[in-house]
Amino acid sequence: MGEIYSLCQEKMNKAIIALEKEYASIRAGRANPAVLDKIQVDYYGVPTPIGQMAAISVPDPRTLQIQPWDASSLKEIEKAILASDLGINPSNDGRSLRLNFPPLTEERRREICKDIKKYGEECKVAVRSVRRDILEKYKAQKKEGIITEDDLKSSEKKVQDLTDKFCKEIDELAAKKEKEIMSI
């Protein structure tokens, strides 16, 4: 019974971690290397993350500098950034790329906040899906006579409490990210 509960906790935790990664990759008007995490560069025929090909630094709050370890890959990195949904044109000085992040408009901030809410809701759906799967496992154990009716009821309550805790954490993460976006 305890192993099912810990499996539930682990799966819900993974949903939160995925949400945090998603939020980290949202461009908030200031330079954050995490916005490049999803961009893959075709490096000798292999899709490779920029972070594995170059040193990424933040010289000032609105600028990212990308310095490839292999100078010949500069053009490929530039192409990948232009093809991405980042919406920023890199400036190429021959040795490195600079990404200047313009301040976000009020309208763009509101769009980003809608995305933040959407990602939060998707994460809640994932957490509730885990809850449903775990409750089915408990019910199957009850059917097989492994646990009693009382054990089933207490397990359902524990899983529901855990679900509520994770949903509250998701709401807090979303509110924090929205506040970050709107305060820039």
Could you give the C-alpha distances from 164 to 6, 63, 67, 122, 167, in angstroms and in order? 16, 39, 44, 15, 5
In the prediction, which pLDDT does 28 show?
Answer: 66
Mean of per-residue pLDDT scores for the chain: 88
In the prediction, which pLDDT does 39 show?
Answer: 85
Specify whether 78 is located in the same domain as 92: yes
Domain that holds residue 66: 33-100
Alpha-carbon gap, residue 13 to 27, rounded angstroms: 24
Residues 31-52, buried b or exposed e (16+ Cβ, 10 A)? Answer: bbebbbeebebebeeeebebee
In the prediction, which pLDDT does 184 show?
Answer: 59
Q: What is the DSSP letter of 123?
A: H
Specify whether 96 is located in the same domain as 109: no
**pLDDT > 70 fraction of the chain, expressed in percent and rounded:** 97
Q: What is the DSSP letter of 46?
A: E
In the prediction, which pLDDT does 183 show?
Answer: 77
Total count of domains within the chain: 2
Structure tokens at 28: 């908030």
Confidence of residue 129 (pLDDT cuts 50, 70, 90): very high
pTM of the model: 0.72
CATH of the domain at 68: 3.30.1360.40
- pLDDT one-digit tens code per residue, 5-39: 899 999 999 999 999 888 877 766 667 788 788 88
Query: Pick from 100, 124, 147: which residue ends a domain?
Result: 100
- pLDDT one-digit tens code per residue, 63-114: 889 899 988 888 898 888 888 877 788 888 888 899 888 787 888 888 889 9
